[in-house]
Amino acid sequence: MAPKYKIGQKVVVTPVKNQRLSPRDSGLEPYAGRIGEVIHFYWISPTRGEVFYIYTVRMETDSKEVVVHEDELESCVA
């Protein structure tokens, strides 16, 4: 499975609703609906045949970098 987003692509952060957070996770609510640019991605394979992509996104407004799962992003339509 190929990554859904490319480096340099504009995306919107859309946290998954009803997501259970562990003490190690931080909420994405402050970034919800904000536009950013994919600056890096990598994949993990917790079990054979399963692949998950994780992205580093630099937010447009304040240049902060956040790490999000693929299902927490949407393509930005300009």
29 domain-assigned: yes
3 domain-assigned: no
Check pLDDT > 90 for residue 15: no
Check pLDDT > 90 for residue 77: no
Structure token pair of residue 66: 């956040």
35 domain-assigned: yes
Pinpoint the alpha helices (H) of the chain: none
Long-range pairs, 64-68, Cβ under 8 A, ≥24: 65/39, 66/13, 66/28, 66/31, 66/36, 68/13, 68/28
24 domain-assigned: yes
pLDDT at 24: 45
31 domain-assigned: yes
Query: Distance between CA atoms of 47 and 12, rounded to whole angstroms?
Result: 28
Q: How many domains does the chain have?
A: 1
Overall average pLDDT of the 10-16 stretch = 88
Structural domain for 24, as ranges: 10-75
68 domain-assigned: yes
| 11 close to 37: Cβ distance less than 8 angstroms | yes
